[in-house]
Amino acid sequence: MCGDAEQARSYLTALAGLTHPSRLLELEAYHNLAAQLALDDGQLARAERHQEVALDAARRLGLAFVEAVERIGSADICHAGGRSAESLEHLDRADAIARRMDSALVSARVAMSRAHVELALGHTEAGLGALRLGLRLAREHGYDCLLRWSRGMMSSLCERALREGIETALVARWIRRWRFRPSSGAVLGWPWRLEVYTLTREFRVLREGQRITFAGKAQRRPLELLQALIAFGGKQVPEQVLCEALWPDSDGDSAHQALSTTLHRLRKLIGSDAIERSDLALSLTPAEVWVDSLQLGASLARRSAPFGALLELYETSFLPHVHAWWAVAPRERFAELFVRHTLSLAHELELTQRFADAERLLRRGLDAEPGSERLAQALERHFEQRGEVAAALDARAARQKLAAARGRRAAS
C-alpha cells in the first residue's frame, strides 16, 4: 500500500472474509498485509506469525513473483528482529528469483532491503552499492512505489541517499509524494514542502522550491502571523498570545475573529496543511514545514549536527526588518546561539592548527553579527596569537570603533 496505513487496514478488513486454507492467494495476501502492518506498529512477534503463514502460502502457490515478495517481507522482519544473516539469506533467494524472472521491480526492492541491512551492519560500501542499484533501477523504470515498503525504512534510505548525493531528483520526488520525514530534522537539502528563511536579509518562503510572494497591504497581516508564529517557537503557540502580539488594541472576540480570518488567508498562500490549529493554539506542521532559525536552534542546542553546515544557515539576525517587540527576544536568543557556537568551532579549528579556516569563520561571524563584541575580540586575539601584529591592530581599531558606535546609540 506504499505507506498508506489507513488504506491498508481497510483492505485487510475486506480480505479477512475471504481467507480459507484452500484459497492460497487470498491467504497469502491477507497475512502479507497483516505482517506489514504489525511490523510498522512494532509488534514483531505478531508480524513473524503472519509472515510465516504468508511465506508458506507463497511456496505452495508455486508463483515465483509472490514468493519473491514474501522473501523480501521475511528479510525485513528478520532484520527487525536482529537476525541479519537470516535476512540476507532471504534476500539472496529473492534476488535469484528476480534474476530468473528478469524483474527489475523485484531487483530494485531487494536492493533497497539489502542496503538497509548492510548499512545497519556498518558495511558502508556494500550498503551504498545496494542503495545506488535500487534507486537507479527505480529511476530507469519510473517506479514511484516499490513492493512492500515500510515508511521507516524508505525514509531512512532516502535520507542517506540525500546525504550521499545518490539519485537526488528521484529521492526528492519520493519524499514529497510520500511525505517522508528525516529522522533528525537536520538534513540540509531535504525537500520540504514549505521552507521558511528568517535568518536572511530578506524574508523568504518557498513552496516546493518555488518562492511565494507576499505583495500588497492585503498580505501584510498573513505575513506577520507567520513571522510571529515562528518567533514564538512554531509549536503550540496559544492563540491568545498571537492576538495580543498582532491585535493589541482589539477586544478578545474581535482579535480572535481577526486571527481566524488572517489564518485562513495565510493557509491559502502557503498551503492548508502547513499550520495546525488545535486546543486554541497554532503549530507549524512538522512534516510539512522547515524553518531555518528553528532548525538552527534545535540542532545546536542538542549538538546533533556538524556546526559548520548549520552555521551557514545564519546569514544575518533573525527577521532583521521586523521591529515588533515579539521579534526582539528570539533575535537575541538566536544571535547568542550563533555567536557561542561560532566561537566554539573557531577554537576547535585553532586547536587543530586550521588557522585560515578559523579566521574565515570569525570574519563570516562578524559579517552576520557585526555588533558582536565577543566575535570582534576573538578575531583580534586570533591575530595576536598568530603574531600578525598589523592585522591585530586593524581588528582592535575596528572593535573600538564598533564599541564607540554602540555607546553613541545607547546615549541617544
Does residue 75 contact residue 113 with C-beta atoms inside 8 Å? yes
- Segment among 67-71, 261-265, 295-299, 342-346 with least mean pLDDT: 295-299
Does residue 162 contact residue 168 with C-beta atoms inside 8 Å? yes
Tell me the average pLDDT across 113-129: 97
Among 65, 93, 68, 80, which residue's Cα sits nearest to residue 35?
80
| Distance in angstroms (rounded) separating the CA atoms of residues 225 and 245 | 9
Model confidence pLDDT, tens digit, residues 269-301: 999 999 999 999 999 998 789 999 998 888 777
Q: What is the pLDDT of residue 134?
A: 97
236 versus 25: which is more confidently predicted? 236
Does residue 315 contact residue 199 with C-beta atoms inside 8 Å? yes
Q: What is the pLDDT of residue 406?
A: 57
- Strand bridging mode 281-284 / 275-278: antiparallel
Model confidence pLDDT, tens digit, residues 156-213: 999 999 989 999 999 999 998 888 888 765 566 788 889 999 999 999 999 988 899 8
At 188, is the secondary structure helix, strand, or coil? coil
Strands (E), 166-288: 194-197, 204-207, 210-211, 237-238, 275-278, 281-284
Model confidence pLDDT, tens digit, residues 332-384: 999 998 999 899 889 999 999 999 999 999 999 999 998 899 999 999 899 88
User: Domains along the chain?
Assistant: 5-178 (1.25.40.10), 194-290 (1.10.10.10), 291-411 (1.25.40)
Most distant CA atoms of the chain, gap in Å? 90
Q: What is the pLDDT of residue 261?
A: 96
Tell me the average pLDDT across 302-328: 81
What does pTM read for this prediction? 0.75
Q: What is the pLDDT of residue 306?
A: 57
Q: Report CA-CA distances (Å) from 148 to 46, 50, 129, 180.
A: 17, 14, 21, 16
DSSP 37: H
Q: Is the pLDDT of residue 231 over 60?
A: yes
Q: What is the pLDDT of residue 131?
A: 98
At 290, is the secondary structure helix, strand, or coil? strand
| Distance in angstroms (rounded) separating the CA atoms of residues 187 and 310 | 10
C-alpha gyration radius of the chain: 27
What phi-psi label fits residue 87: left (phi over 0), alpha (psi between -120 and 50 degrees) or beta?
alpha
pLDDT band at 76 (very low <50, low <70, confident <90, very high): very high
pLDDT band at 215 (very low <50, low <70, confident <90, very high): confident
pLDDT band at 17 (very low <50, low <70, confident <90, very high): low
Concatenated DSSP letters for 318-375? Answer: SSTT--SGGGHHHHHHHHHHHHHHHHHHHHHHHHTT-HHHHHHHHHHHHHH-TT-HHH
Q: What is the pLDDT of residue 171?
A: 94
> Which one of 137-141, 295-299, 380-384, 385-389 scores highest in mean pLDDT?
137-141
At 207, is the secondary structure helix, strand, or coil? strand
Q: Which three cell numbers stand for residue 231?
A: 518567533
pLDDT band at 145 (very low <50, low <70, confident <90, very high): confident
Q: What is the pLDDT of residue 62?
A: 93
At 26, is the secondary structure helix, strand, or coil? helix
Q: What is the pLDDT of residue 296?
A: 85
In the block, which residue shows the cell 595576536? 384
